[in-house]
Amino acid sequence: MEPATLRPAAELHVHLRGAMPPAYFAQLLERHPPARALAQAPERHLAFFRRWPHLAGFLAPDAPAGADLFGFSTFPGFLASYLLSGYFVRTPADFRGLLDAVATDFVAQGLRYAEVTVSVPEYLMQGIPLEAVCEALSEASRRPDIRLRWIVDLVRNFGHDAALDLLRRLLARPPAGWVGVTLGGSEAEFPPGPFRESFELARAHGLGLTVHAGEAAGPESVWEALRELRVDRIGHGVRAVEDPRLVEHLAERGIPLEVCLTGNVKTGVFPSLAAHSLPQLDAAGVAFTLNTDDPTFFATTLAGEFEAARSLGISEQALGDALANVERFAFDRDACRIRFSPLRLC
């Protein structure tokens, strides 16, 4: 099978704001100058932003339009950039525009199905009503040119009580296309165990369960997600190789990893692509999908992730399996309806 015959058209791990086209972010900067957008930011967030030199331009009195959002090299630095970007999505119109810009970009790349992670608490923090968020998500899920499904990130940094409250509010009036929940944010500071009640409630309502683990934190975070939250998939999980017993467990149970190669390098999880653990995980029989995570922040595409995997020596058979795994592990298989052949995934 020639490499060019594999045409990935779906993914399971991509963050909404992480996929924001740069041109749309430029519009938001014009609409909401940094000095105004950050005027009401809590001091703890401003202090976090000040730790990172690449964000200094946004904090200056006359912040330049070309301030560097993407100059991070560590996971905390990336989180700072990502959190800061949320301050510029301030109105329901901004949020609807973000959804439209991202969906249009996906379609241009050839994507036909995407499970998009939406960090709802961060938009509520900017004053966008939950009802407006849900209405916009419902509308975007009905686009005829791409099947968009939503994974709500409860954002571990806000704590379990806030997560449970948000989940209950969403379940009372769920947006169309909502298929799952996850936990993003600071893995090392906020382990998954305390969120057990939220995940049990989500499971009881038929939602798919995934969690970011084994990325910034080690294999113990994956074990905790499996034991305490009983998740269906693991977001990242690439540090599982630090525990051979965990690798064996993942392979035996068929628990898939949502692998994001470029992002793992850009955030310093691995010092280089050549050092990535995917070849070891693949050799051990661990199921995986390939994903972009935050493609704008990491300057990647889904096709680029497959090329990165090839450069690691991942076989065309394994890449074909990764394509098929999207349908196998999607939280809405009926909407996904992926038909894989040697020529196309659509």
Cα distance between residue 163 and residue 338, in whole Å: 32
pTM flag (> 0.85) = yes
Question: Where residue 5 falls among pLDDT bands split at 50, 70, 90?
Answer: low
pLDDT tens digits, 284-337 = 999 999 999 999 999 999 999 999 999 999 999 999 999 999 999 999 998 887
**Residue ranges of the chain assigned to CATH 3.20.20.140:** 10-21+92-330
42 C-beta neighbours (distance < 10 Å), count: 9
Among 53-57, 63-67, 112-116, 332-336, whose mean pLDDT is lowest? 63-67
3-state secondary structure of 330: coil
Instruction: Please report which residue ranges of the chain form alpha helices under DSSP H.
Output: 22-31, 34-37, 43-50, 56-59, 75-85, 92-109, 120-125, 130-141, 160-172, 196-204, 219-224, 244-253, 261-266, 278-283, 295-298, 302-311, 316-329, 333-336
Pair 162, 121: CB distance under 8 Å? yes
Active site residue 135: no
Among 115, 122, 215, 258, the one annotated catalytic: 215
Cα distance between residue 182 and residue 282, in whole Å: 24
Cα distance between residue 79 and residue 125, in whole Å: 16
pLDDT tens digits, 104-155 = 999 999 999 999 999 999 999 999 999 999 999 999 999 999 999 999 999 9
Q: What is the CATH number of domain 10-21+92-330?
A: 3.20.20.140
